Amino acid sequence: MKPFKTTSVKTTALAPLLFEKMAVVLISALFLCSCGNTSNSNKNVQIGDTTNSRSQSNTILRSLDDGLTLIYTVSLKGGDQFSIGAFHASAHDKYFLDGDTNTVVAQFVSGKDLKTDTLLTNEFTYTEIDSSSLTNQKINGKAFQLLTIKESFKGQAITSRTINFILIDPSTKKHYILQYQGEPSLRCEVCIDGAFLENEALESVPEIKTILYAYARKSKLIYRTETAAEKNPRHMKNYELKWDQDNKADNHLANGHSGIPDTIYSTYYKDDLMKFTEQKNGEPVTIEDNRFLVSSYFRGNLLGFDKQKKLFFPIFIESCVTGCNKTIRFISSGRLEVIYDEDSRKEVYTIDLNAIKFL
């Protein structure tokens, strides 16, 4: 038998070749891995740079994300821009905000720099930006931005309204607010009737205070005396206010009713109070006896007319969102029965029209 020497020699000869090929494969694999890692590293740097650059060049676009609606924008001196935006604007009207929380902001854009200033924020409040109020005024060579925002609480718990008169100074990127608070009134159609609220912050900037008051007094949203005669407390437009003062009453409620006092003070008017009241409160329920005619307005006032004197007079002044509607009937000559028909207890009061004290 021949030894396997030849086979042994051949195997020994192939070993270096196999090791060489394995080394080549291993080196190639390491090279490819190295290239792959380098490639991924470069890609990451590139992507980061691209994102960063895009972020800087689209500052304004990014600021309009997350439900911020652009309301108003204007170019300023030097190519800068000023804009007003709002969160939770209605889909049907961008000037009306109806979210559970609402926010109005001012934005100042200078090159790639963006500064945002919150002008107003609230909760559970309908917020209306008066589109006609957005204005750019130049006073003593300085430009100011002005706008008006009305706030009305949702629900029926609070009946008051607030008007915010806002001035923004783009040069300092500051804003100032003058507020007027009141309630809907017969004395005007769309406005509220009330008073300006004090703001100590305005005392340190008298120029700004003067501008804001002048701007506010031109607004259609607050009551303004139209004639000198209207300043007289006995003017027919002031009949609700005078009755309240004479009777030391404030029967303007959200829910429920006030209750009618035993003694009532009133004033005679030649002007037709009923027709005046109907313009805003609608047609009343009217009853009459041989001397008096009485009108009851839905969730509102009781007004009388004396047929003998040919004069009108307020009997009882009251308003509410719900709970104060009244049914009325004469139970005898000049004696009026009043029932609060929205109250489960159906409280009953009696008013003697002949016993009213006139001032």
Residue 70: inside a domain, yes or no? yes
Please report which confidence band the pLDDT of residue 142 belongs to, taking 50, 70 and 90 as the band edges.
confident
Is the pLDDT score of 37 beyond 60?
no
How far is C-alpha 215 from the chain's CA centre? Answer: 19
- One domain, residues 64 and 178: yes
182, pLDDT greater than 90: yes
Q: Is it the case that residue 33 has pLDDT exceeding 90?
A: no
Distances (CA, A) of 264 to 192, 284, 304: 27, 21, 13
Q: Is the pLDDT of residue 121 over 80?
A: yes
Residues 284 and 344 in one domain: yes
Extended beta strands in 154-201, E state: 161-169, 174-184, 192-196
The answer to whether residue 190 is domain-embedded is: yes
- If asked whether residues 118 and 260 sit together in one domain, one would say no
Q: Are residues 153 and 184 in the same domain?
A: yes
Q: Which of 216, 239, 271 is the last residue of a domain?
A: 216
Split at pLDDT 50, 70, 90, the class of 38 is very low
Helix, strand or coil for residue 315?
Answer: strand
pLDDT at 46 over 50: no
Report the CATH number at residue 330. Answer: 2.40.10.480
Domain boundary among 216, 244, 265: 216
Write the pLDDT tens digit of every residue in 86-113: 999 998 999 999 999 999 999 999 888 8
Considering the domain architecture, whether residues 92 and 166 belong to the same structural domain is answered as: yes
The residue from 158, 183, 216 where one domain ends is: 216
Number of domain units in the chain: 2
Please indicate, yes or no, whether residues 66 and 207 belong to a single structural domain of this protein.
Answer: yes
Domain check: are 281 and 153 in the same one?
A: no
Given a cut of 60, whether residue 53 has pLDDT beyond it is: no
User: 359 by DSSP, 3-state: which?
Assistant: coil
Task: Give the model's confidence band at 39: pLDDT under 50 very low, under 70 low, under 90 confident, else very high.
Answer: very low
Q: Is 188 a member of any domain?
A: yes
Check residues 122 and 142 and name the one with the higher pLDDT: 122
24 is a domain residue = no
Q: What integer pLDDT is reported at residue 65 of this predicted model? A: 52
With respect to residue 159, please indicate whether it lies within any of the assigned structural domains.
yes
Average pLDDT, the chain: 83
Q: Helix, strand or coil for residue 322? A: strand
Expressed as residue numbers, the domain containing 303 is 230-358
pLDDT at 302: 98
Same domain, 67 and 201: yes
β-pairing, 125-129 vs 142-153, is: antiparallel
Instruction: Give domain status of residue 127, yes or no.
Output: yes
18-24-25 Cα angle (round to 5):
90
Average pLDDT over residues 148-153: 96
Q: Is residue 21 part of a domain?
A: no
Residues 169 and 303 in one domain: no
Same domain, 200 and 121: yes
- Predicted model pTM: 0.75
Q: Are 265 and 201 in a shared domain?
A: no
Residue 99, pLDDT score = 92
- How sure is the predictor about 6, in pLDDT bands with cuts at 50, 70 and 90? very low
- pLDDT greater than 60 at residue 32: no
Q: What's the pLDDT tens digit per position in 246-259?
A: 999 989 888 888 88
